[in-house]
Chain A
Amino acid sequence: MPFMKGRFPLRRTQKYLESSNLVLKERVKVFTVNYNVSGNHHQGARDFVYWNIPQIQYKNPGVQVATFKNMTPSPFIRMFCENGEEILVDVDSKSKTDICDHIKKIICKTDATLEQEALEKKSLDNPANFGWGCDRQCICEIVGQVPCPSVVPLPKVMRGKYKWGQTFD
């Protein structure tokens, strides 16, 4: 792994960042974690920030992810939603996995929803498509198909003016 220097460079790999399934629901706009630098009951929150915050930001590029250190005696996660709603999660003495599971349960998209969205995205990204916005503009570009009539005229059998004759008004 190039540039894989420092403690746990695994956190910086694309695979790790994409492996998380913590995709927040659309109404969450700001995701904040408050924790202290010392204290055993903050260890879970500290681990969550160390391991999972990059994943959450990667999966939710539109959400502002912020951390606050040493502000209050107890650690918590606070989310601000679109309609003024605030979600407060007490993470005192919880482990990193407990926090992840809890967040997933309350405010993340379910695995089923994520799968469905992935499928929809895949059908939109089908490389076999051609047309506007795709790799190939027209079917005439593809090898083995009828060439572009602007370059090579179509045989008279395929041209309407020869099939049905000219009309005189």
Chain B
Amino acid sequence: MAGSASKGIMLLGQCLAHTTKNAAKVRVKRLVLDQNLHMYFPEFESHFAHDPEHKCKVGDIVLIQELPEKITKDITHSILKIVYPFGDVTDPISGKKVIKGVYRDCAGYRKELFGVAEDGSGGFQYDKAPDRGWQENKKDFTHKEGYMKWHEFEPGHPLHDDPTAT
């Protein structure tokens, strides 16, 4: 395996929320053989991949590769490719965008046939919607790790309006 010794191990995993800067936390699922049952069970391990431009969002499925040398104590991998961005999956066989088992244009056609509600906005417009991440730090805090909130600050306190203050 002389060829793969120079290039690191390649893994496919899903991005998670984390607090490390310039990195993407990727959770990789490996199948581990239980010796008694002779059955494969999933086991998860998390790795930090170097992502200074923050291309990877939480939920994306990415292909990472182990770096020959660690960049920092935690960051050990590099991102090769974002295989399936979260909510924006492209079917590799047809090349079309997909919403979980249905092509986007087919879903649009079905909506047309069904009809739009009189007082409704017409549902999510995929072609007109801005890129994912425009509500980050305003209404979307899924990229931050969850924590227990121990204290509710009074209305006069400077941290009262801060949604991430514990």
Q: Please list the residues of chain A having a beta carbon within 8 angstroms of any beta carbon in chain B.
A: 3, 12-14, 17, 26-27, 29-30, 32, 36, 53-54, 57-58, 64-66, 68, 70-74, 76, 78, 80, 82, 84, 88, 90, 92
Contact = CB atoms under 8 A, between A and B. Distances in A.
Q: Which 4 A-B pairs have the closest CB atoms?
A: A29-B10, A72-B91, A12-B38, A30-B12
A53 B40 CA distance: 9
Interface of B: 1, 3-4, 7, 9-12, 28-31, 33, 36-40, 61, 63, 80, 84, 89, 91-94, 98, 100-103
A80 B13 CA distance: 13
Contacts of B80: 84
Contacts of A88: 92-93
Contact of B84 (A3, A12, A71, A74): A71
Given A66-B29, A72-B98, A73-B91, A82 B10 contact: yes
Contacts of A65: 31
A35 to B, nearest CB: 11
A80 B9 CA distance: 11
Contacts of A26: 1, 3-4
Given A66-B29, A88-B92, A71 B12 contact: no
B101 A73 contact: yes
A13 B94 CA distance: 39
Given A29-B9, A64-B12, A71-B98, A57 B40 contact: yes
B38 A30 contact: no
A66 B7 contact: no
Contact of B89 (A57, A66, A72, A78): A72
B14 to A, nearest CB: 10
A117 to B, nearest CB: 14
Contacts of A32: 12
Nearest to B42: A66
Contacts of A68: 61, 84
B9 A90 contact: no
A88 B83 CA distance: 13
B72 to A, nearest CB: 24
A71 B101 CA distance: 6
B91 A54 contact: no
Nearest to A74: B93
B12 A76 contact: no
Nearest to A5: B37
Contact of B7 (A57, A58, A80, A82): A82
